[in-house]
Amino acid sequence: MIGTLVNTAAVIVGGTIGLLLKKNMPKRVTTIYFQAVGLFTLAIGISMVVKMEHILIVVGSLAVGSLLGEWINIEAGMERISEFLKKRFRIGSDKFSEGLVTAFLLFCIGSMTILGTIQEGTGGSSDLLFTKSLMDFFSALLLASAFGFGVIFSAIPLLLFQGALTLLAMYAGSFFSPVIIQGLTSVGGILLIGLGINILEIKKLRIMNMIPSLIMVILFLWWFGN
């Protein structure tokens, strides 16, 4: 779990520095930051889907997972949690929810998260998560300067999510075959492309409601892809 703990600390420290920088940052600089983050997110997503395999399963996972997430309405639940945190800690940021969701998706939906937690959970090195921690430090700095406190609070779901994956890998590491990892990477890349579209304000997509697609692709590939 050391890799995840370091990653969590990196997000908190990077986000805190970003908040300090935000106070003296003019509007035009904040705007270009948003654009840079959006393009960066699109680039990561595209790089993750370049080697997509089992296209029908990926499409089916997105369709079924999105319908399931819309039925549960995960995004509305995240909004309620965000509002509770804002009131509990007396945070006045109008972009708190957006920052929390954006940072969580960017930090946790990626091949380095999946591969790093599996590597650490199966007794291997934490080097991949350490590398991810350095990347997330600078990303948190950039995001917090644009979105505010929500980026720092994203460290909580990051800790829970990556910690759960590491524990899962400790007891079921062999389950994550290369085919399943590739499927997760492809679906995660598509979600990041959607997140980039949101950040660039091209169109508002309910990405949080598509999160169950990650579970569906695991199940579908386990049933049909291996």
pLDDT in tens, 67-100: 999 998 888 887 777 777 666 656 656 677 778 8
Residue boundaries of the structural domains of the chain: 2-225
The answer to whether 45 touches 193, Cβ cutoff 8 Å, is: yes
In the structure encoding, which two tokens stand for residue 224, read together? 């049909």
What per-residue confidence (pLDDT) applies to 63? 94
Is 184 buried (19+), middle (13-18) or exposed (0-12) by CB count in 10 A? buried
Q: What is the pTM of this model?
A: 0.76
CA distance 94 to 10: 24
Best-predicted range by mean pLDDT (21-25, 37-41, 188-192): 188-192
State yes or no: pLDDT of 143 exceeds 60: yes
Q: What is the mean pLDDT of residues 94-112?
A: 79
- Please report the pLDDT score of residue 89 as a whole number: 59
The pLDDT value given to residue 94: 66
Structure tokens of 6?
């370091």
Contact 93, 150 (CB under 8 A): yes
Q: Is the pLDDT of residue 110 over 80?
A: no
Q: What is the pLDDT of residue 200?
A: 87
Instruction: Tell me the pLDDT band of 41, cut-offs 50, 70 and 90.
Output: confident
* pLDDT recorded at residue 75: 80
For 136, other C-beta atoms within 10 Å of its C-beta total 29
Tokens in use for 24? 């003296």
The lowest-confidence range among 8-12, 96-100, 158-162, 190-194 is 96-100
DSSP-assigned letters across all residues of the chain: -HHHHHHHHHHHHHHHHHHHHHTT--HHHHHHHHHHHHHHHHHHHHHHHTT---HHHHHHHHHHHHHHHHHHTHHHHHHHHHHHHHHHTT---TTHHHHHHHHHHHHHSSHHHHHHHHHHHTT--SHHHHHHHHHHHHHHHHHHHHH-THHHHTHHHHHHHHHHHHHHHHHHGGGS-HHHHHHHHHHHHHHHHHHHHHHTTS----GGGGTHHHHHHHHHIIIII-
**Helix 111-121 and helix 127-147: axis angle, to 10°?**
140
